[in-house]
Structure 1
Amino acid sequence: MFAICVTFRIKTDQMEAFMPLMLENAAASKTLEAGCHRFDVLTDADKPGQVFLYELYIDSAAFDAHCDSAHFKAFTAATADMVAGKDITSWSTVAS
């Protein structure tokens, strides 16, 4: 398995607009992508403006397909001005 962790830093005044788009992207990823096994969206009340994603794919090719999907491209375009920054790390499963 191939895991992706993303931490978004959302502009303070954009969080309400960002979240529905993020949840729509997550739902589309789980529904439309056979290679997407998990797509969790998390927030922390102590870290306003941060959104953490945990995504699990069958392999890196499935993640590449996710990045090429129409719903991901639409999400990225729609939220570009809302995002102050993001950090992305990838991981390979050793054991589960």
Structure 2
Amino acid sequence: MNVPATLEVELDAVTNDAGETVYEVSYDRPLQPTLAIVTAVATIEECEPTDLRPLHDVVDTSALDRFVDGAWQRGSTPTVAFTFAGYDVEFRGPGHARLEPVT
């Protein structure tokens, strides 16, 4: 399951230790982390990103992008987690996030 390459987002479904499907998201700069998450969730749900609840209703998107990008530039691993559109979202390092369905 992949989104168009122009968005530079890759989405891989994997099975966690509990046997549940989770999604590993990879993206490249300059794509904003928030756009990567919205694009990934829309791809999983097979809908348009505009069909989802706005991410800015859940988290300060500007602050999130600055935090994750800043960590990326410093070579550190950001620790950010929140719930969006039925998924627990966790940033796992520069250009990587994990989406786990909320059960």
User: Do both share a fold (TM > 0.5)?
Assistant: no
Q: TM-score, normalised by structure 1?
A: 0.37
Q: TM-score, normalised by structure 2?
A: 0.35
Higher relative contact order (CA 8 A, sep 6+): 1
Higher helix share: 1
Higher strand share: 1
